[in-house]
Every structure is written in C-alpha cells, then in structure tokens.
Structure 1
C-alpha cells in the first residue's frame, strides 16, 4: 500500500512539474518580442525590416518613419487610456473605437500609397495582411487558453 501511495505521489509531483515548466517556457517565449525595447527602438527595427522587405530609398524611409512614429504615439496613448479604465466599454463606445481605428487605417493606407511605388505598395499590403492574420490567430489562441484555464478551475 505504501509503495502504491508513494508511486502515485511521485507521479503527481512529476506531472505538476512538467506542466509548470511548459507554462513558464510559453510565457518566456511570448516575452522575447519587441516589448522590451523602447518605442524608438521598436520603430527603428520595424523601419529596417520594412526597408529590407520593400527596398525603400532614403526619402521613403524618412516618410515611413514619420508615419510609424505617429502610429506608435497614438497606439501608446490608446493603450495608456485603455488600461486606466476599469470598466468595459459599452457597445456604442466599442463601435466608436472600432470605427475610429478603421478610419485611421484607411488614412494610413492612403498616406503609404502616396509614398510607395505600386509594386512596393502591393508587397506592403501582403505583409500587413499576413501580419494581421497572425495577430488574429495569436489573440484567438490566447482567448482559447483563457477559456481552458477557466474550465480547469471549475
């Protein structure tokens, strides 16, 4: 009886240890992104990636840098404002936020279209589409993970 109990206890401890190790590895993996950099560093890295991907010239780099800086400032302000609010937005507020965000995306797309050549612009759109698709998958995985955690606690 003692052997069975001891074996079960060791198995339980081992399984728990592996489960925690996996969660820690996943959280470390997620934090290896750009969030450890300053906004200026993130902007510079993003601009360099864009320059490599789209073969931007110096004037295009300068213009895209301005746009990216403005976008990052808006995003930082939104995140700061959003974090300070404790209550969830109403459906009307959510509609207004999403509408404003889409208007800004349309304006940015128009500005970028003026800066890039048609070939570069189509490549930029493909890159953005791929990026947004990945972000949607990441967020849905995150939500699914939260639901799994809730189910485990019940």
Structure 2
C-alpha cells in the first residue's frame, strides 16, 4: 500500500513538473520573437478568429505597428527614468555622506575625545536599530 501511494505521488509530481517546463519554454520562445514576428502572429490569430478581410487586416496591421512603437517608447522611457532615479539616489547618498563628515568634524571640535567616542557609539547604536527595524518591516511584507 505504501509503495502504491509513493508511486502515485511521484507520478503526480512528475506530471506537474513537466507541465511547468512546457509553459516556461513557450515563454522563452515568445521573448525571442522580434516585434514584427509578434505582430504577424497576432494578426494571423485575429484573422482566423474574427474572419478579417484584407482591408481590415491592413488596418489592424497598422494599429499593431503603432502599439508596438508606443510599447518600445515606454520601455525606453522607463529605462531612462530608472537610470535617472539611480543617479539621483547616488547623488543624494553622496551628499548625505559629505554632510555626515562635516558634522563629525564639527562635533570633534566641540566635544572632548571621550565625549566624541561616546557620541559615535550612540550614533552607531541608532544606525543598527534603524537597520534592524527596516529588516523587520521588510520581513513582514513578504
């Protein structure tokens, strides 16, 4: 009886794994197609599904081409905005580090060496608390 149950579970597991592999390979093939190939495939499908005449096919082909151009433009804009955000983030980070160095220098002048060491230790504790708090927040979202 145990062997029968184990065999059944193996068959079910292998079947679901095989189906997942098939779907992922179709997605990989879809990504390799050029925009023109995707348009032709979509036009062919619409023609067979909707019984389009030649005039409708020409109009839909133009529409699909326009949509493809718009889609490519959105992708380019998104990549540009991502790079822009990355550079802004990087410059803000650099600015904060520079301000921290200036603050440390000013505190070093004002405080005694023992006070400065204590202040730096407190700063490090606060930093560690913030890091752990952020990790906790990220952990609860997932």
TM-score (norm 2): 0.41
TM-score (norm 1): 0.38
Structure number with the higher helix fraction is 2
Higher RCO (CA 8 Å, separation ≥ 6 residues): 1
Which of the two has higher C-alpha Rg?
2
